[in-house]
Structure 1
Amino acid sequence: MLRMDTLLSLLVVSTLPQIVVSDVLSVAPYQAVIEQVVGDSRIFSGESIRLRCSIPEDVKSTWRHLWFKGAEQLRESDEFILWDANVKQSGKYSCQGMRETVVGPIHTLQSVPVEIDVDGGWAILQVPPHPTLVGETLKVTCRVRGNPNLEEVILYRDGVEVMRQTGSNPHVHLSNVNLRDRGLYTCRATWDIRRRSHSVVSVPTQVSISEILTQPVLEVVTRDPLIPANMMRLICHLQYNAHAPAPPIHFYFYKNGNRLTTASSENNEVVKRTPGQYSCKARVPALDLMRWSETKNFGKVTGTEQRILPPKVPKPFAPPKAAPALTPPTAVEPREAWLFPRQPTAAPTYPQLEEETPQPTDAPLKPIHPAAKPQLPDVMPKTSNQTVPPDLVDMSGDFPDALEQLE
């Protein structure tokens, strides 16, 4: 009986490592990547697109590739091709790597989905797949089915015309874009066929504009098992969207306006847990960019602690005023007289500080202190120059219907 129990125990122990290894290795620490080989993510019905799946982190192993449309699994292949695409094939496509091992099949993480839009109309506005950064040039293309010789292309943002160009060039460039340039864009294309003018409008397409360096947000973490109880962690959260290779970014942390640490490439710092007003700053020296976070209070801030806000964007100063010439106290003239040129006079005499000079009684004197400079507003008022959106003609739909309209 004892030998049987021992045998069963050894059998259970021998199978445990295999079970653990199988659970751990069922998902590999790699992620599949989709590459568009032929075509664009927005195509006309009847056109084709070819996608390729790869595992760039593990080039030595032999992987099989599974394709998915949403949650539906498609065929297994290194490349995925849509021949003579139709509108119903629009959707989000992803891929995943798989290979067999002694402990069973291993799968990679699924790739980031690629959205394919099959348009059955006559015009497509092609936009960059990734957000355009502030200060860059936005490049869009107004494609027309059959590539006719265009006469005019008009670009709209949220129904308002932003650019109009004549000629057969379907590419439109918007230089030095900012955050106000993001929105839903459409294009109108016009051309002539057999002395008849035709005009089509694309469906709206979202255009994204991003800042290179977003405003940081400071987080104060007081409960962290990795640091002592009398310490706390400051984390400076932001989004850095510079193109690769991105130059390094430096982080700074402040308490009551005084810098706590030197520049660091890490976005967090452990400091002493004391009340105060904390903030952080992010700076990219190579791009001449700097952003401050909002000040965050921690603990009970006493009135003796002075709140020092981050510096604002410098504003133009008024031209310096020339210092007024000193005159004897008995001949002090009104301030208005300083605006006119003076005649040469003898060398002035300066009053003694301990003497008291009588003031004239016929008219009150104006103060000789310089006038306070006018304060410029922090935010200038914005004016709206939007026009009434034009009546766009939507000729989207299936290709046969659009063809009948042009006959």
Structure 2
Amino acid sequence: MPGSFPPCVAFTRLWLTLLVVIPVNGQHEAALQSVISLEPPWTTFFQGEAVTLTCRRYGFSLPQKTKWYQKRKTLKPTQETSALQIRDSGEYWCQADSLLPSMHVNLVFLKASLVLQAPPAVFEGDSVVLRCHTEESVKPETLTFYKNGLPLPHQSSELHITRANLKDNGQYECTKKNWFRTLTYSNKVRIQVQELFPRPVMMARPSQPIDGSPVTLACQTQLAAQRSNAQLQFCFFRNLQALGSGCSKSSEFHVSAIWAEESKWYQCKAERMNSQVGKGSRAFTVPVQGALADFQTHIVPASKVVFEGQLLLLNCSVKGVPGPLKFSWYKRDMLNKETKIPKSSEAEFKISEVNSSDAGEYFCEVNNSRRSFVSRAVPITIKVPVSQPVLTLSAGKTQALEGEWMTLHCQSQRGSPCILYEFYYENVSLGNSSILSGGGASFNFSMSTERSGNYSCTADNGLGAQRSEALWISVFAPPDTAKNRRSVPVVAGITVGLLIMAVGVFLFYCWFSRKAGGKPASDDSRSPSDSESQEPTYYNIPAYIELQPVYSNVDPKEDVIYTEVRRTQRRQKHAVQESESPRSRNQTAEKK
């Protein structure tokens, strides 16, 4: 699977990562490794000679506990000074305290007349001495050094390599010429110049700084454990220009403020002091992020609704924007016009007593000399109690005729919306109306004489109701309507009287007719004239007699009504008894 590693490899990678990030005296070590040193500093000796091995902690400090190893067996130090004297050939290493074991040193003790002695390790920049060692003294001109089989133009018992580098790698040996011009060859020694420290890596803390914020540049590298006492110095560059006053022993450089337009190329260089060994990092671009201002606006009162005359306090705090910061306050009115508030360079803005003109949206601006950041607007509502409303009439008069439509208008000159207007007649509510903006409210109704009296209105926006002054309205009936209203009781009285008279006459007539019909037909006391003038007599009375009053005024201007009453009889056919008198038949025949 791509990107996966065996457990041992993964552990090794993790271990190396941990080694890089552990600082020691401004540097970063490759490993917390024990260090073994030799005195004299050679690995090849004549038999019978001795070498002292010393085990140290990283940085060449003495450990508290030391373990020595030779191949697969553990040795004990001869002294408590962590030193061990060796006279036998073999592979040795040590472990100081709980550090990692040191590098292995292969010591060789030879039974020969000529040996080439070399240090156990050579690092770039080291001053190396190779020694062609003989048991007896010889003349220097009889000694010759060879590199990779080729003689070197040097005749001395020691070969000095100044500031070793990779071109000095190779296999070395020396020869001795005797009196008979025969050559004696020494042992061969391979010199492998090791890297004193790897190429440094440029890093930034934080890795993604915010625009305008401070940042620390770190030049990370590591010294070899055997040279952990070496001194390095570091130099920093931006766009190939040196930062600061020059190189220093510190592997870090602090930038007080880094800006996006300056975030181009950064480099660092690590070099060994008093040496020509120096290495530069690759070009590195610091990923500067745009500042994300996190504003917090605190308001007193917290409800964002302030009553007229109260204290208004706004406090602006911001996170994520590097300082120093300068604050400014702005107000946006209902027309979206922004106005900078003078004398408001602090994070706190205060209005001791607010009024209606202070309503609007407030926001703060912070500036750090390079960037400006604006907070969200905070709407501030100023609640103003309503003033005493004024009640007016649309017609402009306080007298009205009955049936006329009247419009009442109620309005408060001051007051925060929404305002509820309510109309009253003698303290009895007529209705209400809610108004979101100015202009007041109106109420329409038809006037009647019963509604003459005091009218008023109230206005209320939740901060206390206010009542207008009472307004008296008089309602009058039109003249014609008044006369007709006075005539109605008179006409009604006369009509009732006439009806009562008609009923009385009708009852009398019925009684009289019954009386007349009851006498015998041969009654001589009745005169012929009387019998002729009488109506025919029936046993059944008429079904009804309707009295219809007919009245008219001679003079319409007069209030008196003259009434004429007429009696009409609707005739109906009625069954007559079979034993009808001859007189009745004669009267009937005469009429026919």
TM-score bracket, normalised by the shorter chain, equals: 0.3 to 0.5
TM-score normalised by L of structure 2: 0.32
Please identify the structure whose Cα radius of gyration is greater.
2
- What TM-score, normalized by structure 1, do the two folds share? 0.44
